[in-house]
Structure 1
Amino acid sequence: MRIGNILHFTEHHRYYIYRDFSIGSMDLKVLQMIYQPMVGAAAASLYQLLYHHIPTDQVGYSQLESQRRLFLSLGLEMNEHGRRSLIDYASRLEAVGLLQTSRLALPHGEDTIFEYELAEPLGPEEFFENQHLTMYLRDKIGKFALISLRQEFVSREPDELAHAQLEKENISIPFYELFSLNTHSVDSELEQALSEVAPSRQTARAIPDSPETAGIQYGEIILRFPRHSVNRPFVERLRGDQKQLARLNYVAYKYNLNVVDLCRLLDEDGIFSRGGELMEEELQLRANQLYRQDRKRGDERERKLAKMAVMQQGDVEEDMPQEHAVQAENWLEVPVQLAGRCDKAQYNMLMRNEPHTRFLARFFPGAVPEWMERVFERIDLNYRLPGAVINVLIHYVLGEKKSQRVSKTFIDAVAGNMLVQQVDTFEKAVSYVREQDNVEERRKHTDTRAAAPRASTQRTRGSRKPSMPIVEDVPSGAAPTPEELEAALRLARKLDGKME
């Protein structure tokens, strides 16, 4: 029972009991011999006291009463010491699963009511299958006493039957072979009456508009919130505001936040307005940032642990994994980087069976770039893609000689697309790569056909400058005689100043 202020749990507060079971002789024996050594005699007495608030032949709710009755029945003083004792007894019952305590706030008032919902004790077989309860009982009474106690709840099978090899056949008659119901008539009045008299639980206690919740109560928040914080008065206003608490719990559930993380966010500037209203959009934004940081650290921690495990097992000789054959219809072309080093069958066998770290190193003459190692390491350890699928992804990115693909963004996008399409085998990965290549070819063909009409249109429109005629060197008339040619040469020498 979580009570932040002892004045919030007094003998003046009212309470009621709810249970939907009855205790038999076996349950009484379990309570006395199993649960009582764990919780103590006082807590066991409190359980039976609460149980008898409702007649033993009925289930449902008890009447509203003052908690003064509990104090007087248990012999507790009505002071701080008595209240802490009652809280301790109830907490022990809650810890072993016999009690659930809730606090209900009445509308238009500051009074609160406590609900004690009793749970049925576990049967002997179910109890001893629960490991942490069994271990705690062993710590209380000892190992040999625990073994003897378990034997007291079991009646053994006769030896004549236990050691015999018997064949068991079920010859019981089911209900529908012996009895028949009149299914043609439906008595709606009977169904309505049965539902009205049933001790159903109140649905008003459920938090509205909150399908999922982190289960964080106001008391947990205010207990861990800094006392001298500027936002402390605003957080204290959340008490009794079920809608705001439901929104906080939804944000905590959505981004996997615990109480400490939620208190840290509520203590930051800008989460509350000047009037004390919760800024939900800002809270979601900062919760998302915190979630992404935690996820990044978790991924890095997971990769480091995986590396440490590999290093610790490096000296241990492991059995070689089974080698898988590749059918000819699933072969991919050998990339240029590996041409001449292996044929198509060998390349596809390597891609199908080799670890992605070794397969990636084959595409580089030296060391693999560090950023690329980290990208494929994250795909392997965090995305959990199979090794053969990662090798096909390496072929698709590095083996087709397209430089625009060699980027962290492109590799991560293709890996995410494979996850969405559930590409989890080598054959599915090959089909995925071929489909992507076909899509690119169709896109290129479409772009080429669209560019051809544009070029022809530009030729038919004509140019703004007039077309200039081209002077062709076409001979006209008869060829010159030797005399005419000699005369022309003399004239040329004369003009050059070379005449004698």
Structure 2
Amino acid sequence: MAQHWQELVPVDRYIVASNGLLHEYDRKILSLLYQPLIGPDCFSVYMTLWSEVEENRLWSEASSHHFLMNLSGLNLKRIYEARLKLEGIGLLKTHVKNEDDIRSFIYELQPPLSPEQFFVDGMLNVYLYRKIGKNHFLRLKRFFCDRTMSEHEGYEEVTKPFQDIFVSAPSNTLQYLQDHSEELDAEKGQQFIGRQSANPIQLPHETFNFDLLVSGLGDSLVPKRSLTPKVKDAICNLAFLYNIDALQMKNIVLSAVNEKDEIDIEELRKAARDWYQFENYDKLPALTERVHPIADRVQLEEPKTQEEKLIRYLETASPLQVMKDLSGGAEPSSADLQVIEGVMLNQQLLPGVVNVLIQFAMLKTDMKLTKGYVERLAGHWARKQIRTVKEAMELSRQEHAKYIEWSSGSAKSPAGKKQSKQKPIRTEILPDWFNEVDKTEKVEHGSQKDAEARKKAIEEKLKSIREKRGGK
């Protein structure tokens, strides 16, 4: 993936366009429904771009990205990353033109989904529920709902129909409109100002193996005509959301077929959600299940050395999977998951980098995720702009001495008393990939036997993980 300075520089020009009028009500939708998912940087960039479009207009004047940096208070890297997130969630379309070494952009703002679209989306509503919890989710749902007319019983509608109030125009007037119909259209190169409907997030059908699904279902069970475009749209989104492959999706589709041999989309969503919660102990998908983006992976060729195999594992496994593997398959606690989700969201660390952080932090703190220590490491790595697994491993080696001070400094004695000045016995355990640097260091002998036993057990566990992942 190209660095942000290759894609964007402060002197690049941009114009803001709006795909239809944006209304004041959209601000509430963006701040209450979208902001928990995209974060404050994305919200700030969207609102700043919106503010550049004058009221009741669709285009802004041209500006430079240096101007946008000053307005938003964000550096170019954060603006670029926010732009990518806005594009991904469907709030922005970006157009670029390169002419005579001058690069200019059009940022086309897309309206957010309506509350009804959002709460029945099948993707965004699940992520929001997982992010803010049941109570706050239901509170937001109540906020965007109001009473229906059916509650006003005893009232009788007396509205007059059109034909009772108006009469048809004279025939000569209608003839004039027919003869000059081209005058009714907008002029060439222009469009009427109005409100455009928002498009929900939809993954392309190529992201799912429908051939394998169809062969598994067979015409005798589910006819091919049941897989309508709308059903395929739902299957693609559900497969991405819940990480369902074609073989697992077969049983889910079968459970959603009704008596007319049609696939009920609502039943399909419910079956997919029930399957995921059954497989994951009644939990919903979260950020910790993301894997490192392909664009930021360095181990693209078939790994040969042990370190390359480990890098491949850390790039292709989710933080949740890494925590499970380090715990022998046991489910991590909700507190540990909150710590990891916090650094992924607040420090914007990529999943592979978080995997290195998990290994390093857990093995340095006796298999515990100490929140303060993890957040301090994450903050340091974020300031260093670490994006790859290899960079994270190298930085851990270079800053080893500093990290020792941080881990020992976080352990305070009871009641704030000073700790004994007796020299501590160094028994910390290091990840397997750290050995090439750490092997030259001396370890004192105090409780060395116990430490070595623990280290050997964890090394065996990491070795089995690498072999399992490397063999796939």
The alignment's TM-score, normalised by the length of structure 1, stands at 0.36
